[in-house]
Structure 1
């Protein structure tokens, strides 16, 4: 009976591999699966006939598969496993005594002789040896070290922020995410322990939108932390104990029209004209998901009535359409030169009738509009008169800006116009400013320079991260630089005075062949410092078994794919890197003394298929556009189906790793090291801590002690790394997803590291409401 059932299994496997293998071969893919199918079918026939020669045939399949797998991908265990895992397990099954005894019985003996099984035994043993060896190898990592040399002993960190404090989203207006504190080092970081835990009480509700996420980086001023929550509560905590000082709820309500329900941070300001201790001498500015900006007294959380309309700015003013649910600020505004400067997020790919992407500067004390820069009308920055509206559907800035008050420049990361995948009919200004970093005069809003990172963007490659400002030493002297991470993986290192490159940028040929009526740029820019992945091929397809890997190989060849910037198409295109981004809003952290960076490149392919308007299904009240599913693009000739490129089991079709940590030298543009980051513990059916290298969203920080901290990965951990080598030094289990950027401060001579753990709706990590501080023991 065992042999009959085994033969039947081999027959079914052979048939499945044969059908899929023929399909793959007709598409121009590997013929291996046809050969494997024939071996399975022959083995099945011989098993039905009780012939010991079945073991020899299967031994040849094992050896052939092993050789083919090594030829395709080398000694990468995570890619060898799906190719040979099922085959090795079946080989072990055939070696069991009840199988060998049955085969021998068919040839006149009941003794389970090892003789005929020796070739299969040796083949399986060889495969296991290769598997064991490959587990100890990682051919995809880059090993090396960043220099420990201090290039600038007293660098410009930006702003007037005490070393113990963290006043802005990236600590200072420069957005370096760098703490000059040194108590925590690679030698003692493994002694970190929880100092305190605070729960906000703001938890994801059943009626919340899918992308309800906790992405805040707290601020620290003297003895107080300031933060916000997904539903835009503002909270002040005692920095030493985590005890709540005050809480303010703006009552934003639940609006199903919002794509995002999140808050990345608040903004802090101390008014030099108001005596300390007086009402609203220090203020916290809270952006909300119902398009308000509220000024609060930092001492007690009370609204400051002298700002705007009784303490509130209504950011829907001047917008061309009713913005309820379709326009709001998810990131903290920038405060500089007596102004508070605000961008905003729009609902991507829902309609062509989007709000304006205008950048507005208001008087920090009164809330009066000082200037507005509208990329649809970029030369006129005087305040918009009452009754007029800004340009609709102009590229917006949903991330965080940086500012250099010495140069008088504001650096704004811009997105592109909805629909992201359709470029026909874009205006000259949209073509100029989409997916770019712009430098604006902080006092007037006038444009000083623009650096575009994608020409005629059809892939949603908006600039997702705050530009980081740092002075770079070069052969010709120190240059005030800007470091700009992008979704496509390029790191732009520019002279922030002019926008001209410090590290070279070259134009390279790009795929052509957009849909009728649209076009593609013949070239696209690439920075010398880039984390863009090599193009995918059939051998890069992956699965937990040979079957879903075969399905991914077939789907890969069915999609249009010509490398980075393959245009969207009616048949479906593979977009890699996908619009999740190699880098997203978490950006990178920069050490201005050593002039190096630490980042978390992520690699996930997406698919993009255009749908003619006549074929778009009726509206779904729940569909508001997103990074996954049907994006309706109401008013445009095409909608688009978007989503990760996944197997029938819902796993990425491309082989891991999907996430790394990496370090690079900003002066040379050389990547010194790059290591897999994160495990599948919280994203697999079994809590297995396999270090595959998983995606993440969030950002890192660097400390002067030589330690970097990062949560972000889709397993629930906060980790510490040696900045020099990238070696992981410590990890702490989090009670929820850590998709936020940590921060560090000192109080009473002790250094703390704080992270918010609240999960991320889009990546499916565990929701929560935790704020956790770590410190070294006394």
Structure 2
């Protein structure tokens, strides 16, 4: 009976692999799957006929599969396993007595002898040995070291500039200082003692994900620490103050921003702190916290008690949706904290990607931080006029916006604004010259007037939603001649790290223009070249052998899909047939950016690699609007009013795992003086990605940002397994990890509390788009 069932199973496998393999060959792909299907069918026939030759035929398949797999991917366990796992398991089954006995022979004395196992056993043992050996290697690991910690004998500038006047034990802005370095000069926690970190306290905000929330409800906040108080916001825009040493709540404020199903995001990355030096100490609203809300308001609160500062704007509330020609509720708000500088509060805003052609403007506005009066406005659709827009006039509809965080150099009088693309992101027709100039760039604006000082574009004629997603990091870099240059580090979705002179925008690490694919739809065009930085985490172009799956079957499906998609490397234009976009919309770097050490002049980051697909849909073929059509990185983006919608999503197998082979996520370090990548290590496990909690370190994607401490430890959550990790900054090796009760898709921070102990804090609340566990936790760790 066993041999009959096995024969039927082999027939089914053979038909699936043979049919799919023939399809793949017709598309110009590998012939192995067709060969394997035929070998399964041949083995099935011989098994059914009770022929011992079945073992010989299957042995040939085992050897052929081993040679083919090693030829394609070398000794990479996570790629060898799906290619040979099923074949080896079935080979072991064929070696059992239940199969070999019917294939044997009966002696003249009537005894039944099973078939000789060795013709098949030897190839199976060899394949198993190759698999075991591959488990001991990591072909994706790049080992190396960054320059070591600064010592008394290290020749460096006298004192590294960190921006602003922030006490060492505090964290005043999203990136700690106006420079956005995410660097702390604290050094109690070191590579030698970080393994001793323990949870000091835990607080729950009570703001949990609701049944009626939009898909991208996320908890991305980095709290601020001023004096003895932590200030944070929640996804539904509660503002909360906590005692930094104990986590005890001091006050909370609820702006009642309501729910709106048209919102694309429901998040808050942070609040903004401001101290009025002219106000008497201790007076009402002498210190303020500014809270952006998801119904497009900015509210000023007294940092001491959470009361509304009624002297600001209209009784404490500033409307951010004024002077917008089209103002549909839920389409626009500031998801990131505004910048407080030189008596101004400067605000950008997020618009719903790819909803329609009639959305709010991406204007950047500076308001008087005390009164809320409009000081200047810079609209990338009308960039030369920055004087306040009169009542009754409108900012440019759908102009490129800044949804991330800006950085400031008060000495130079400049604010550095990361800009996105003009919606619809995948359609470049009818863009104005100013939009073409400023899309997907960093622009330096004069803090006093809003006038442009320089612009550096990172994608020409962006058709891929390659926004500049991260806050630029500012530091001073020592050149080979010993001179110090004020620099800006700009991470991008496509994986390039741009290191620029922040006075002029000129590259300090070379940037070149390289040819880019053409072949757009007839109404559009593609830029013939695109910029490429010499410091880049850009992945190699995908080829068929990079297709992955947990089995031969979904791997075969991914190979077929790969050949069906249009793909000519990075910047393949969107198409009607469907294009493969790699790096994908998720970005090699996203809003979490990188952390830089201004003393060692190095960076630490988390490059992520996930391919996406982009398929244009003629507007007359788009179905009536449904509740799941929110416009996002997954699903149908309608682009109402445009000739095409677009269907976006990760490039996944039929089983819902990435079609491209892992690793999908790394930690990496680079020397910013030389532009050389020192190390890249797989980061994260599949523990929270699979039904079984398997802690396999495969290198998983994530979203969130890192921090660096002077003690030589970098901290990062972000990965889709629920951990906060500590790394040796010099080598990138993981030294510690703390289990989180929910997804840690926020950037951590560190501070000194009243007990003179260094704490590391992260908010764990999950991320709706990547499916991590939601929560409402604030977690603080310290040494015993």
The bucket for the TM-score relative to the shorter chain is over 0.9
Deviation, structure 1 residue 149: 5.0
Please tell me whether residue 526 in structure 1 is matched to residue 532 in structure 2.
Answer: yes
Please tell me whether residue 625 in structure 1 is matched to residue 640 in structure 2.
Answer: no
Residue 336 and residue 60 in structure 1: after superposition, are their counterparts in 2 closer, same or farther (change >3 A)? same
2:288 aligned to 283, 292, 304, which one? 283
Deviation, structure 1 residue 621: 3.9
Deviation, structure 1 residue 105: 4.6
Take 1:105 and 1:344, find their aligned partners in 2: how far apart are those partners? 79
1:580 aligned to 579, 583, 586, which one? 586
Residue 411 and residue 104 in structure 1: after superposition, are their counterparts in 2 closer, same or farther (change >3 A)? same
Please tell me whether residue 230 in structure 1 is matched to residue 235 in structure 2.
Answer: yes
User: TM-score, normalising length from structure 2?
Assistant: 0.98
Partner of 1:761: 768
After superposition, residues 31-46 of structure 1 pair within 5 angstroms as 31-46=31-46
Q: Secondary structure at the match of 2:104?
A: helix
Deviation, structure 1 residue 475: 2.0
Deviation, structure 1 residue 153: 5.0
After superposition, residues 180-219 of structure 1 pair within 5 angstroms as 180-219=185-224
How many residues get paired? 777
Partner of 2:513: 507
2:749 aligned to 743, 763, 767, which one? 743
Q: Secondary structure at the match of 2:708?
A: strand
Q: Tell whether the 8 Å contact from 2:52 to 2:115 is kept in structure 1 after alignment.
A: no
Q: Secondary structure at the match of 1:551?
A: helix
Q: Secondary structure at the match of 1:211?
A: coil
2:458 aligned to 453, 461, 464, which one? 453
2:446 aligned to 433, 441, 446, which one? 441
Partner of 1:55: 55
Please tell me whether residue 325 in structure 1 is matched to residue 330 in structure 2.
Answer: yes
Deviation, structure 1 residue 623: 1.9
Residue 704 and residue 4 in structure 1: after superposition, are their counterparts in 2 closer, same or farther (change >3 A)? same
Take 1:114 and 1:363, find their aligned partners in 2: how far apart are those partners? 90
Partner of 2:315: 310
Q: Secondary structure at the match of 1:260?
A: coil
Q: Secondary structure at the match of 2:71?
A: helix
Q: Tell whether the 8 Å contact from 1:50 to 1:106 is kept in structure 2 after alignment.
A: no
Residue 127 and residue 622 in structure 1: after superposition, are their counterparts in 2 closer, same or farther (change >3 A)? closer
Q: Per-residue displacement from partner, 1:517-575 (whole Å, max 9, x unpaired)?
A: 10000000000000010000000000000000000000000000000000000000000
Partner of 1:771: 778
Q: Tell whether the 8 Å contact from 2:104 to 2:115 is kept in structure 1 after alignment.
A: no
Q: Secondary structure at the match of 2:295?
A: coil
Deviation, structure 1 residue 117: 1.4
Unaligned 5+ segments in structure 1 are: none
Take 2:27 and 2:654, find their aligned partners in 1: how far apart are those partners? 19
Partner of 1:146: 146
Take 2:110 and 2:429, find their aligned partners in 1: how far apart are those partners? 76
Deviation, structure 1 residue 221: 0.4
Partner of 1:482: 488
Q: Per-residue displacement from partner, 1:471-491 (whole Å, max 9, x unpaired)?
A: 011124110000000000000
Take 1:175 and 1:428, find their aligned partners in 2: how far apart are those partners? 31
Deviation, structure 1 residue 116: 2.3
1:565 aligned to 561, 571, 583, which one? 571
Q: Tell whether the 8 Å contact from 1:256 to 1:622 is kept in structure 2 after alignment.
A: no
Deviation, structure 1 residue 110: 8.0
Q: Per-residue displacement from partner, 1:57-99 (whole Å, max 9, x unpaired)?
A: 1111111100100000001000001100000000000011111
Residue 418 and residue 36 in structure 1: after superposition, are their counterparts in 2 closer, same or farther (change >3 A)? same
Residue 360 and residue 627 in structure 1: after superposition, are their counterparts in 2 closer, same or farther (change >3 A)? same
Take 2:783 and 2:697, find their aligned partners in 1: how far apart are those partners? 27
Q: Per-residue displacement from partner, 1:312-352 (whole Å, max 9, x unpaired)?
A: 10001111112410110000000111100000000000000
Take 2:587 and 2:63, find their aligned partners in 1: how far apart are those partners? 39
Q: Secondary structure at the match of 1:508?
A: strand
1:266 aligned to 265, 271, 275, which one? 271
Q: Tell whether the 8 Å contact from 1:102 to 1:110 is kept in structure 2 after alignment.
A: no
Q: Tell whether the 8 Å contact from 1:49 to 1:106 is kept in structure 2 after alignment.
A: no
Q: Per-residue displacement from partner, 1:242-288 (whole Å, max 9, x unpaired)?
A: 00000000000111110000000000011100111110010000001
Take 1:568 and 1:370, find their aligned partners in 2: how far apart are those partners? 40
Deviation, structure 1 residue 42: 1.0
Q: Tell whether the 8 Å contact from 2:149 to 2:712 is kept in structure 1 after alignment.
A: no
Take 2:112 and 2:344, find their aligned partners in 1: how far apart are those partners? 86
Take 1:152 and 1:467, find their aligned partners in 2: how far apart are those partners? 22
Partner of 2:598: 592
Take 1:349 and 1:565, find their aligned partners in 2: how far apart are those partners? 19
Deviation, structure 1 residue 152: 3.7
Q: Secondary structure at the match of 1:754?
A: strand
1:408 aligned to 387, 390, 413, which one? 413
Partner of 2:153: none
Aligned Cα RMSD in Å?
1.1
Residue 537 and residue 108 in structure 1: after superposition, are their counterparts in 2 closer, same or farther (change >3 A)? farther
Take 2:328 and 2:394, find their aligned partners in 1: how far apart are those partners? 12
Q: Secondary structure at the match of 2:116?
A: helix
Q: Tell whether the 8 Å contact from 2:104 to 2:116 is kept in structure 1 after alignment.
A: no
Q: Tell whether the 8 Å contact from 1:104 to 1:110 is kept in structure 2 after alignment.
A: no
Take 2:114 and 2:404, find their aligned partners in 1: how far apart are those partners? 67
Q: Tell whether the 8 Å contact from 2:364 to 2:377 is kept in structure 1 after alignment.
A: yes
Q: Per-residue displacement from partner, 1:720-741 (whole Å, max 9, x unpaired)?
A: 0001111100011100000000
Take 1:606 and 1:227, find their aligned partners in 2: how far apart are those partners? 33
Higher mean C-alpha deviation, range 84-93 or range 34-43: 34-43
Higher mean C-alpha deviation, range 206-215 or range 622-631: 622-631
Take 1:264 and 1:521, find their aligned partners in 2: how far apart are those partners? 34
Deviation, structure 1 residue 112: 7.3
Deviation, structure 1 residue 657: 0.5
Q: Per-residue displacement from partner, 1:437-466 (whole Å, max 9, x unpaired)?
A: 000000100000000000000000000000
Deviation, structure 1 residue 716: 0.5
Take 2:327 and 2:120, find their aligned partners in 1: how far apart are those partners? 71
Please tell me whether residue 711 in structure 1 is matched to residue 727 in structure 2.
Answer: no
Residue 226 and residue 245 in structure 1: after superposition, are their counterparts in 2 closer, same or farther (change >3 A)? same
Take 2:298 and 2:322, find their aligned partners in 1: how far apart are those partners? 12
Please tell me whether residue 425 in structure 1 is matched to residue 421 in structure 2.
Answer: no
